Structure formats: structure tokens, C-alpha cells
Chain A
Amino acid sequence: MDFNTLIAQFISGLSVAMLLFLVASGLTLIFGVLNVLNFAHGSFYLLGTYFTYQLMQMFDNFWVGLLVGVIGAGIVGMVIEVLFLRRIYGRDQEGAFQLLMTYAFILIIDDVVKFIWGPEYKTIPKPDALMGSLNIGTTVVPTYNVFIIVVGLLVVLFAWYFLTKTDKGKMVRASSLDRNMLGLLGTNVPMIMTLTFGVATAMGGLAGILAAPLRTVTPGAGVEVIIDSMIVVVIGGFGNFWGALLGALIIGEVLSFGILWMPELATVLTFIVMIIVLIVKPEGLLSKKMVGRK
């Protein structure tokens, strides 16, 4: 195995990692701010993809589709938060009910998608501008993969700026620390929660759209991605934004190099990583508090 293959594999792993990060950071934001484990997050990934597919059928333009898909996924997310999730906050055994409700949304959304667009495979072509490949040193890398990495990095930068430098971002972080106190200080906490859910689901939709030209589009895609993203969130630590980034990088590279060296065990490897992390450091790699342990 020569050096170029390694670099190419590494970059392909990075693009996988960025897609995972987009989904997982949404998951972890929702967990941090709303204290909900959104098991249905993969379904928003799916919705984004199919909205884009529909728009491309109508206008044949990837960028219009991307925009509408992202916004559409976010709007559906906000509607679900306001109409349904809001009703079970603070209930006894809330965790189990959240799991059930979001599981119900997987069943419902996936079936609705199947009903509207049919169960067969769909394809979304890469936009013309991002066809072809780039030379990085002596390694040839598809332009589209580089594009995904750049978009992922932009989201990371923007999120960092928003969460640490702006007042609104500070409110979001505050609501994950102490919801009641923030409410007493006069902030509209339910609004923050709804908007966070909307932004997070929109990011899930974005991931689905970006991934679509690389993978085939099927109604089962959301379920596949949710388990991987869940692993990422667990590894990084629930509610920990930077943990999601680290977790995504680890899982992305494990998947990418796993396929190279141990094709049989590639899918199993991610679970092994998760089990090791949960046993050694259950609160996640980047979380300091001793949560979740007895």
C-alpha cells in the first residue's frame, strides 16, 4: 500500500466524517439544549434528500434543491417539536417516552417518504461545477469530497462563532446548563428550544443532501445513518459539540480504513469502538463530568 492510497483514503474518511458530524452535531445540540435523544434524526436526513430530489425534478438545479431541502427539513423539525415533543418534556421516565415518540416518527416519516416517492432507488447527480477531481500533491481526490469537507469546516467555524461569540449563542449554551434560570431571566426558552431543533434538523437535512450524490437515495437511508451518528455522539459525549466533531473524525476514519484493511469487520468495528469508549470513559471522550456512572 503506497502513500498516495493512504492519503486518498484519509481524505475520503474526512468527507465521511464531515457528513457524520453534520448529523451528529445536530443530535448532540438537541440533546444538550432540549435534553431529548432524537432517534428520528435520520429521518430528517432522509427528508432533506427527498425534498432536494423533488426540487431537482422540477428545476434541475442542485443549489435550489439544496436550499429548499435544508429549509424544508428544518421546518418539519420545528413543527414536530411544537406539536408533539413539547408535550412530553418533564414527564416521569421521560427518556423512554422520548425514545418511543421519536421511534414512532421514524416509522411515520420513512413510510410517508416511501408512499410519496416510492421504494425504488433514486439518484441525485453531482452539480456540474463539482465534477472531476483535484490533485493534492501527487494524490488525486474527487472535487466533491473536498467540497463536503469545506462545507463541514464552514459549519464548524460558524457554529464556533455563533455559540461562543454571540449573545444568542450564549443563550443556547445557557439553556443547556439551566433552563429554568434562563427562563427566569426573561428569555423565551421554548422559542430557543424550537429554533435549536429546527437548526439541528436542517443540519441533518444538509448532511442527507450532501451525501446523496455519493450514495444511492432510498427510504432506508435515514435508519442507516442514525446508528452511526448515535455512535459518534456517544463517543464524543452527549451534548458536547466538540465531542461530536472528534467522534465523527474517529468513526469516519475507522470506517474508511476499516474497509481497506478489514472489509469483513468494517461495520462491526464502529460498535467495538463505541463499546470500548463506553466501558472506559462512559461520559464520552470530551466530557469532564462523571455523568452516567453509578
Chain B
Amino acid sequence: MKKLKDYLPWICYFVFFLGILLVNPGTHYIHLVARVIIFSLYAVAFNLLYGTTGLVSFGHALFYGIGAYITGMLVKATGPEYFLLFIVLGAAGAAFVSFFIGLLTLRLTGIYFTMLTLAFAQLAWGLTFKLYHFTGGDDGIQAIAKPAMLTGGVTKYYLFSFVVVAICMYILWRIRRSPFGSVLNCIRQNPQRITFLGLNVYKNQLKAFVISAFFAGVAGGLYAGLDGSIHPDMLHWPTSGNAILMATIGGMGTFFGPVIGAGILTGLEEIVGKYTEYWSFSIGVVVLIVVLLFPRGVLGIKRLAGNKNKEEKETEVVCNS
């Protein structure tokens, strides 16, 4: 039975996102949910670093943006036949860049790490503006074609994104439950102990950083195909901030929390944006409520009153004794 309980969130995940297609609420909403799917991969990938390893990166937009720009530029240069390959290349590019940025940023801790990641992302954002011939400047890249298989009707691209994201999510899920995932978890709670155990904190953090960047890059590449256009704002700091928001609102201590966070953020923007242009106010209020009242996020509510689950108690005992 334990097996089934473990897979329950996955069942919900599949039922919800495939069920949407059966209900068929119209092109607009399918497009919207496709965005939720892509953002959720971005947020879950980010949460490997944030909720699991305890590193508050404020520059994840960089990797998201690199994925989007590499995919977009390759499609523009060679045509859309190998779209999937381009997404993988974009993610690989993000991972490649993240390796070097990780080497430098992970030497620092706490707020210094956060600021340095922010600086690198802002630097890249500034450069995409200036390198007009290469990146299209503030126009971004428009009319990114999709391969023939995925054109016509948003449903096809929805399914494509869903499959890609589901595979990536499964890999991330396995990573989090692997021994390596436990090491990351312990790095957050007690890095010294990891050193005592003869493991290298820096190397493991770097691995987590690169993995997280890779999947953020996949999300960026998928987004480039969804809207068919990319712009430098994808690299700007509010995009990095959104990753933190989604992970926290949903619950950074859980695997599926960021998916819920992505849904809430996109939903608020859509629903409130329909009535007024002041939707960021509503997001601010939601974040404030979450920070003050539900610091464990929406999925963490059930564990509020000190009811830590068994696994958490065990790790705490191990780490703090």
C-alpha cells in the first residue's frame, strides 16, 4: 500500500493535466495550462536547489533564458525539424554555463551566493539587450516555427510539452529520492556532517546546480516553442523571483509543491488580470499570507502544527544529534 501512496501525487498529476484535455475548455485555457506545465518544470528544477539543497539562487532566469534563446536561435537558423534536439541542446547549453557560474558562486554562502547569482543573470540580461545582431535586442526573437508534427491546434504542443515535462519531472523525482538526493537534503540541514561523512559539499552542490540549470533550460526551450517568441525579460530578475515565489507558495519542502505554486501564480495573473491591471498586487498579498501564515506552502499546510512526518523527524535526529 505504501507504494500506492507514494505514487498518489503522480496519479493526481496525470489525471489533472490529461483530464483538462477531455474537458476541453478551449484554446485559450489549454494554452494557459500548457504554460503552467512548463513553469512547473522550471519551478521544480529550481526547487532541487532551493528547497532540497537550501541554496537561494536569485539568477535562475539565466538558465531558463539560455534554454529559450539557444532553442529559438537554432530553430531560426536551421528550421524546426529537430525541435526536440534543439531543446536538449538548449538545456545542455544552460548546464554548460551553469557549471562555470556554479564554480564561482558556490564558493560563497548565504546572501553572498544569492547576490552573485543575481549579478550573473543581470549581466546576461544586459548583454542580450546590447548584442542586438545576435539576440535581437529588446525585440527578442519572433515567429519561432514548430515542426510540422506539432503545428495546428495548441493541443498537440500541449501534449508534447506534457510528455517532455513528465519525463523530466520523473528524472528529478528519482534524483531527489536517490542517495544523492539525501546528500543534498543533508547539505541543507547540516553541511558539516556531510564533510564528516567524507563527502564534498561543494562538489555535490555543484552537481545540484548543474542539474537544476539543465531542467530549467528544458523549460525555457519548451516555452520558446509555446509562444513562438522570446524576449530579454525572460532573463530579467522578476523571472528568477517567480521561481522562488512558485516554490515557496506551493511548498518548498515538497516535490509537487512548485507545480501548485506555478498554477496559483499563472492562475492569479489570468483571473485578476482579467478584471484589473493590478494583478501583481494580488500576488504580493498571496506571498505575504504564505510567508506569514503558511511558511511551508500550500502542500505543507497539513504538517503545520508541528506534525513533522516520520522521514523528516528521522533526518532531524540524525543531523542534529
Q: Is A112 an interface residue (CB 8 A)?
A: yes
Q: Which residues does chain A contribute within 8 Å of B54, judged by CB atoms?
A: 93
Q: Is the CB of A275 within 8 A of B116?
A: yes
Residue in B122, B127, B244 whose Cβ sees the most chain A Cβ within 10 Å? B122
Q: Is B284 an interface residue (CB 8 A)?
A: yes
A165 vs B10: C-alpha distance in the bound complex, in angstroms?
A: 63
Q: Is the CB of B108 within 8 A of A99?
A: no
Of the candidate stretches B82-90, B155-163, B286-294, B300-308, the one touching chain A is B286-294
Q: Is A129 an interface residue (CB 8 A)?
A: no
Task: Report the interface size class on chain A.
Answer: 35 or more
Q: Which residues does chain A contribute within 8 Å of B120, judged by CB atoms?
A: 271, 275
A44 CB to closest chain B CB, in angstroms?
15
Q: Is the CB of A107 within 8 A of B130?
A: no
Q: Which residue of B lies closest to A88 (CB)?
A: B291
Q: How many interface contacts (CB-CB < 8 Å) are there between A and B?
A: 128
Q: Which residues does chain B contribute within 8 Å of A112, judged by CB atoms?
A: 281
Interface 0/1 of B120-150, CB less than 8 Å to A: 1011001101100000000000000000000
A40 CB to closest chain B CB, in angstroms?
10
Q: Is the CB of A227 within 8 A of B288?
A: no
Q: Is the CB of B244 within 8 A of A238?
A: no
Q: Is the CB of A238 within 8 A of B111?
A: yes
Mark out the residues of chain A between 219 and 244 whose CB falls within 8 Å of any chain B CB in the assembled complex: 227, 230-231, 234, 238
Q: Which residues does chain B contribute within 8 Å of A14, judged by CB atoms?
A: none
What secondary structure prevails in chain B residues at the interface with A? helix
Q: Is the CB of A106 within 8 A of B248?
A: no
Mark out the residues of chain B between 251 and 307 whose CB falls within 8 Å of any chain A CB in the assembled complex: 252, 277-278, 280-281, 283-285, 287-288, 290-292, 295
Q: Is the CB of A111 within 8 A of B107?
A: no
Q: Is the CB of B123 within 8 A of A275?
A: yes
Q: Which residue of B lies closest to A283 (CB)?
A: B112
Q: Which residues does chain A contribute within 8 Å of B278, judged by CB atoms?
A: 111, 114-115
Question: A101 and B287 in contact (CB under 8 A), knowing A93-B54, A111-B278?
Answer: yes
Q: Is B237 an interface residue (CB 8 A)?
A: yes
Q: Is B104 an interface residue (CB 8 A)?
A: yes
Partner of A100, one of B110, B116, B244, B277: B244
Partner of A108, one of B104, B108, B285: B285
Q: Which residues does chain B contribute within 8 Å of A101, judged by CB atoms?
A: 287-288, 291-292
A114 vs B4: C-alpha distance in the bound complex, in angstroms?
A: 50
A274 vs B115: C-alpha distance in the bound complex, in angstroms?
A: 9
Q: Which residues does chain A contribute within 8 Å of B113, judged by CB atoms?
A: 292
Question: A292 and B119 in contact (CB under 8 A), knowing A100-B291, A103-B245, A104-B291?
Answer: no
Partner of B284, one of A87, A88, A96, A104: A104
Residues of B within 8 A of A (CB): 50, 54, 56, 58, 104, 106-116, 118-120, 122-123, 126-127, 129-130, 201-202, 237, 241, 244-245, 248, 252, 277-278, 280-281, 283-285, 287-288, 290-292, 295
Residues of A within 8 A of B (CB): 37, 84, 87-88, 91, 93, 95-97, 99-101, 103-108, 110-112, 114-115, 227, 230-231, 234, 238, 264-265, 267-268, 271-272, 274-275, 278-279, 282-283, 291-294
Q: List 19 A-B contacts (CB under 8 A).
A: A84-B288, A87-B292, A93-B54, A96-B244, A97-B295, A99-B56, A100-B245, A103-B284, A114-B278, A115-B278, A230-B118, A234-B119, A271-B122, A271-B123, A272-B123, A278-B116, A278-B119, A279-B104, A279-B116
